[in-house]
Homo-oligomer: A and B are copies of this chain.
């Protein structure tokens, strides 16, 4: 026993650290990364705790149509897992199980001392993109959790004509609109 003790002492912190994470045998580069969960029908379970994820950029009133819209439009805040962000910054690739959350907020103004411009009012929608070839043969799938006044607990993948085709054609890097998100633009490794 005695001669194994140094090994036990050495490995114990590692074991405790791993134990704290719970079971983790995930096919991603970083086993701490939150991964997509699906119900028995294959619908994506709404990711939670995104407040701790890495924010990559915001936008307002973004539209692909030239039609005039009333008012400023909605805010979108875009998040990804911290580990997906780190992998992209290090390698220029989004690992399998990367998720992007698009959190929708109503625009608000004229509260307190605010006189012009817009801040983010109540959250009113959530869309998620997931890179998971095991689940989606195209590599990426897109989900909307909008459901009237509240968010749905699960969502089926949208038809590819609704999101995938446009992301595949126009997004700057691997179906991700890196061009619109400053934190991703800045993280993207420069070509040598």
A interface residues with partner B (beta carbon < 8 Å) = 5, 8-9, 12-13, 16-17, 51-52, 54-55, 57-69, 72-73, 75, 77, 79, 82, 85, 105, 111-123, 166, 170, 172, 177, 179-183, 186-187
Q: Could you jot down 9 A-B contacts, CB within 8 Å?
A: A5-B5, A13-B17, A57-B120, A61-B116, A111-B180, A114-B180, A119-B181, A120-B180, A123-B186
CB-CB nearest in chain B for A61: B117
* Copies of this chain present: 2
CA distance A16 to B87 in the complex (A): 25
Determine if B13 and A65 form an interchain contact, defined as CB atoms under 8 angstroms apart: no
Determine if B77 and A58 form an interchain contact, defined as CB atoms under 8 angstroms apart: yes
Within 8 Å CB of A111, what residues of B?
179-180
CA distance A115 to B67 in the complex (A): 9
CB-CB nearest in chain B for A8: B9
CA distance A115 to B166 in the complex (A): 14
Within 8 Å CB of A16, what residues of B?
13
Closest beta carbon of chain B to A83's beta carbon, Å: 11
Within 8 Å CB of A181, what residues of B?
119-120
Within 8 Å CB of A177, what residues of B?
112
Within 8 Å CB of A77, what residues of B?
55, 58
Determine if A120 and B62 form an interchain contact, defined as CB atoms under 8 angstroms apart: no
Determine if B182 and A52 form an interchain contact, defined as CB atoms under 8 angstroms apart: no
Within 8 Å CB of A60, what residues of B?
60, 72, 117-118
Chain A to chain B: the 7 pairs with minimum beta-carbon distance, closest first? A61-B117, A55-B55, A13-B13, A58-B58, A62-B117, A59-B119, A119-B180
A12-B12, A111-B180, A182-B122 are contacts. A85–B116 as well, Cβ < 8 Å? no
Determine if A63 and B13 form an interchain contact, defined as CB atoms under 8 angstroms apart: no
CB-CB nearest in chain B for A69: B116
CA distance A123 to B20 in the complex (A): 38
CA distance A191 to B79 in the complex (A): 30
